[in-house]
Amino acid sequence: MMRMLSRSISVAGLALCLCAGRLLAQESGGSNFRWYVGGHGGVTFFSTPTGSSEMPVAGGHLLIVAKRTGLLLSLDHGFGSNETSSYDFVVVDSAGSAVNQGTVSTTFSGLRKASAVLMVFPIKNDYVNPYLGVGVGILHTTGNDPDNEATSALGSSGFGSLIGGLEFRISRFTAFGQYQITTKPQVDEVRTPIAGGLELREFGRLTVDGTHTLTAGLRFDLGSSRESVKTGGYK
């Protein structure tokens, strides 16, 4: 199921990039089509089956902007310590009847999130710009204990995402503040054949509900990609 989910997220991300490419191509002109690279930090709020918590996050991003649209690619890492979680299991026989069941307690030390977001700048000027975005991504836990196939699968999930923010331009630098919310992950299941014709079914999620992330950061204007292409001798 996780492979199918990852494939679906990859397809959605590719479609998002293609859509963004078409919009950027339609809008680009002069100095409007630009590349930005930057870093950011903040805090993310999340929930597990055992409770709610938060952890500091830091990351980097690449932003491609036309007149009123853009494509944001970002990678965040949350730094936690012994964040508690759990998942359930059941052992069934060949007839599908449960012969044993219970809950496995786990911990993890971090959250890693990769996002691709199509952005819109409804009001744009040279100084202050609000923006909105919609996108997809993958979230997974790091430093799982126990570290096995079940925690790896149940700690990873695809998501849909909405963002909103405000940026302030200062020369070739842009300072910004941003809020991102992600969708709730679906329950996943890992099935493993064991001795005696039995099957172990492990299911749940190490993180439940959506995440809420507040970040602030700085990005640097790398210039117009059209100018860089011309410099290389292409028309």
The CATH number of the domain covering residues in 2-231:
2.40.160.20
Check if the beta carbon of residue 115 is closer than 8 Å to that of residue 180.
yes
Cα gap 65→67, rounded to integer Å: 7
The dihedrals phi and psi of 185, each to the nearest 5 degrees, come to -75, 150
Q: Locate the domains of the chain by residue range.
A: 2-231
What pLDDT was estimated at residue 76? 98
Question: What's the one-letter identity of residue 90?
Answer: V
Cα gap 66→90, rounded to integer Å: 52
> What is the token pair recorded at 114?
């990769």
What is the tens place of the pLDDT at every residue in 109-123? 999 999 999 999 998
Q: In this predicted structure, which of 12-16, 110-114, 131-135 has the lowest mean pLDDT?
A: 12-16
Check if the beta carbon of residue 194 is closer than 8 Å to that of residue 200.
yes
Mean pLDDT to the nearest integer, 172-180: 96
What pLDDT was estimated at residue 224? 81
The rounded radius of gyration (Å) of the Cα atoms in the chain is: 21
What is the tens place of the pLDDT at every residue in 68-115? 899 999 999 999 999 999 999 999 999 999 999 999 999 999 999 999
Is-above-0.85 flag for pTM?
no
Sign of torsion, CA 12 180 211 140?
positive
Cα gap 153→150, rounded to integer Å: 5
